[in-house]
Structure 1
Amino acid sequence: MMRHSRIAVAVYLATTLLSVAGCGSDDPAAPPAEEDVDVDLGQPPAPGPEQPGDGQGVAFAIDRLFLGDTDRDGKKTAGSWKQYGFNIDGKVSSTISEDLCRPADGATPSDVYPDGADGIDNSFGSKLVPLIGSLLPDPSTKVTDAIANGDFTVILKVDGLGAQSSYNPLTAKLYGGATLGTAPTWDGSDEWPVVPELLEDAQDVESAKIVFPKSYVVDDTWVSGPESQVAFQLNLTISETTIGLTIRNVRIAMDLAPDHKSVVKGTIAGVLETAVLVDELRSVIGAVQPGVCEGSGLETILDQVRRASDIMTDGGQDPSQDCDAISIGIGFTAKEVQLGQIAPPAETTGVPCGETPADEG
């Protein structure tokens, strides 16, 4: 496989954007007309008054991931994808909306819409996760099992976080957790190694590339801050196969437990650039099912990805343009850990469709 085989989920700053999507919709019903809906719904809470940090800070490591094939209790429920994400484009879109980008590659509005609850944009969960599940069954369960084994995690370290219910601003840093070497205890003592790809200085664990300098807490909900221009790649390893998702226009929010030592409900949202993801999936599919590389099977799958595009790369809509990106929403929970040592650089393995193994010339 083409990504970090040693790391089940690694997150690192990317200059190239990867995207993903799939096919099918489980709910043809249109939401209420946009003029009847408050489009401020489906957004994370706004910041409160200035209140500087007064605590030692906490590093939260994701312990469960929800990709859209299950609800937040881990149960397979139709339409679970609707609860993950945010209303990125500020619209509550349906099959009759007229102010949206044009569906791509011959798709129709009914192939892409309606949105999820309160205008949540998540074509990844609606369209792509079923496609991933057809190749790699039970993706949310498999990726969470890998975390429970200590194979990987994603870490958000919120500096200055203390006991108060609201802060503004707080600096937060994002890390990729490398292999722990054992199953985590989740009692706050786990020292999780971090991948060097996410550091400006591979010798300094505090030199995170992905920083949210204007994050805040409102009524025990942490928010990453204004829409981030940082793009980061989230590598999801499912059954030893890694799928790279580079997310831009990133928005992250997480509801904290009363003691601020764990996350009871978290959301990562943004957009994925379709053309780049198609290249990523070409690699992944070639590793999972090499036989698909032959004939028209691969292009049929990739066409399904293109037709899932529902938004523009900048997170907006433009009715004069074809949609060129796919909205994404992922749920998670997290627990306190300690930052460990810096791991060695990850290795890459695998051969995608169209490439020849090095030992074969």
Structure 2
Amino acid sequence: MSGLLGLLGCSVVGKDLDGYFSGDAGDAGGSAGSGASGGTAGNGGSAGSGATGASGAMGGSAGVAGSSGSGGTSGAGGCGSRQPPTRPAVQDTGSGAPTTIWVLKDIVIDQPDPLWKDIGFDLDGVCTQPPDNPVECLAENASGPQRDGNAGVDNAFGSTVIPLLKAADVTIQQSAQSNQNEGKSAIVVHVDGWNGEDDDPSVQVWMAETAYAIPDGSTDPGMPSWDGTDSFYVPDAAFNNGDVNSPVIGNDNAYVAGRVLVMRLPDRSAFPFQTSDGQVFLKLTDATLTGQISADGRSLANVQLAGRWGAQDVLDTLVYINICPNSLEYGLVQNLLQNSADIRATKGTGGPGAVCDAVSIGIQLTGYPGKFGGLIPSQPLVNPCAGSGGAGGKAN
């Protein structure tokens, strides 16, 4: 994640931005197909075989030609609706396994089409696909809706924002992954109370960004081996008053369903990412982290972090990387948000005439075994735009 907003605000100066600030977001719809393809993106049903078209979508009606093609507006019709697994209906038998720790790295932020379409979840329950393109809201200056990915996935970050960042720096993902591989800005996922089985209705989870790793047998920070023997250290600002029993980003009632860890994140809890210019803070609403637990429990595959990143929260974090209000760079970010926002920051507040005030985001990572080494003092949080440092190393 290193440098995302710095690139967004700084490196785009002098670039040709017309392709990002105009035009209809998303892919062009395909040609009208037969009813049999009802509800598939780009193949909205037109007159066709009717009954067979309905069978292609959960919400279609037999005998109504093409109705299945546009019947997915609720997310459960033509598109389907990709959601995290639901909480399993089994008894909580308590912990049958010791504390489990994974450390996330290999972040996937460069998501060229069609990769972005499968990273994230259907956040708004609306199937934004042709021919009707229903939406929760529209961006202030958008000329058209931001279309969904597969199964209603909302991920404007991957489809619209990242291409702009990559145009400014093609190494953006490589740099982020390199930092994580060194043990910096990786993510500790700490799980207590897991029974070790495929289903567990209640586990306790917290997450925190790493500052560095100390390899096994060493007393100094260094390159981790990622084999489960490394100890990872996190800043104490990841916990309220530095208390490891009071995480800033935690959930005491997460769960495991079908061997998938599911954690809902507290709304707008500040998650820091270190960049070369300072820290940026990812404050998401309606956010979920999921990951497929391996058979031996040592790794997490296909980890997905998805949610709504409010436009104002994006702007508020810019000052910490020296992008100040009234600057050219700040204005560029505002412009991007006014054109690319595709969702409401608060779930359930959309409707006719609603203006989008958030960007949907989906990020993919992979979890490796590791140890929690402990806390280190957080560095003071500095606001260059204010001309003085702040205290505490934690965003409000």
Give the aligned partner of residue 71 of structure 2: 35
* Match 1:217 to one of 253, 256, 269: 256
Q: How far apart, in 1, do the equivalents of 2:330 and 2:248 lie?
A: 35
Give the aligned partner of residue 56 of structure 1: 98
Give the aligned partner of residue 164 of structure 1: 197
What one-letter code is carried by the residue in structure 2 that aligns with 1:244? F
Q: Give 1:343 deviation, angstroms.
A: 0.8
Q: Give 1:192 deviation, angstroms.
A: 0.9
Structure 1 position 247 matched with structure 2 position 284? yes
* Match 2:154 to one of 121, 136, 141: 121
Would you say the 8 A contact 1:51–1:166 is kept in 2?
no
* Secondary structure at the counterpart of residue 160 of structure 2: helix
Give the aligned partner of residue 135 of structure 2: 100
Would you say the 8 A contact 1:63–1:333 is kept in 2?
yes
Taking CA–CA contacts closer than 8 Å with sequence separation of 6 or more, which of the two structures ends up with the larger relative contact order? 1
Q: Give 1:261 deviation, angstroms.
A: 1.0
Would you say the 8 A contact 2:267–2:283 is kept in 1?
no
Would you say the 8 A contact 1:58–1:159 is kept in 2?
yes
Q: How far apart, in 2, do the equivalents of 1:97 and 1:196 lie?
A: 49
Q: How far apart, in 1, do the equivalents of 2:178 and 2:210 lie?
A: 15
Gaps of at least 5 residues in structure 1 are 4-21, 71-76
Give the aligned partner of residue 231 of structure 1: 268
Q: How far apart, in 1, do the equivalents of 2:275 and 2:261 lie?
A: 28
What one-letter code is carried by the residue in structure 1 that aligns with 2:259? D
Q: Give 1:199 deviation, angstroms.
A: 0.8
Would you say the 8 A contact 2:318–2:330 is kept in 1?
no
Please say which structure displays the higher CA radius of gyration: 2
Give the aligned partner of residue 140 of structure 1: 173
Would you say the 8 A contact 1:220–1:255 is kept in 2?
yes
Gaps of at least 5 residues in structure 2 are 4-19, 31-40, 45-68, 214-220, 390-396
Q: Give 1:250 deviation, angstroms.
A: 1.3
Would you say the 8 A contact 2:319–2:384 is kept in 1?
no
Q: What is the TM-score with the length of structure 2 in the denominator?
A: 0.72
Which deviations, in whole Å up to 9, do the C-alpha atoms of 1:150-174 show, x marking residues without a partner? 2222111111224321111111122
Range with greater deviation from structure 2 (51-60 or 118-127): 51-60
Q: What is the TM-score with the length of structure 1 in the denominator?
A: 0.78
RMSD across aligned positions (CA):
2.9
What one-letter code is carried by the residue in structure 2 that aligns with 1:346? Q
Which deviations, in whole Å up to 9, do the C-alpha atoms of 1:264-319 show, x marking residues without a partner? 110011101112313434664739xxxx976x565244212221111111133322
Q: Give 1:123 deviation, angstroms.
A: 1.0
Q: Tell me the matched-pair count.
A: 319
What one-letter code is carried by the residue in structure 2 that aligns with 1:138? T
Q: How far apart, in 1, do the equivalents of 2:123 and 2:232 lie?
A: 32
Q: Give 1:99 deviation, angstroms.
A: 4.7
1:338 to 1:229, Cα distance in 2 relative to 1, 3 A:
closer
Give the aligned partner of residue 355 of structure 2: 322
Structure 1 position 338 matched with structure 2 position 379? no
Structure 1 position 308 matched with structure 2 position 337? no
